[in-house]
Amino acid sequence: MVKIVHAQTVLPESVLEELKKKTGEGATKDAIAKAVDHYLMCPYTHEEPLEKRLEEVLKKKKK
């Protein structure tokens, strides 16, 4: 049996609308659930943030 918990957050309306567009979901709970599922399954979420990697590349080029 899976234990289900209720989670709540505050988001700007524009962010929520963009999330719904990107996930293709019309309901808030479905869009958030799909985004969380993607984040947990995506192999790139555990890597360094892109901005940090870009900064390192630019630093190396300047040397």
- Domain membership of residue 56 as a residue range: 13-62
- 2 belongs to a structural domain: no
Q: pLDDT tens-digit profile of 11-59?
A: 999 999 999 999 999 999 999 999 999 988 887 777 666 677 777 778 7
Total number of domains constituting the chain:
1
The reported pLDDT for the residue numbered 48 is 65
- 21 belongs to a structural domain: yes
- 3 belongs to a structural domain: no
Q: Please give the model's pTM, rounded to 2 decimal places.
A: 0.65
Q: Give the chain as a 3 state SS string.
A: CCCCCCCCCCCCHHHHHHHHHHHCCCCHHHHHHHHHHHHHHCHHHHCCCHHHHHHHHHHHHHC
- 46 belongs to a structural domain: yes
- 30 belongs to a structural domain: yes
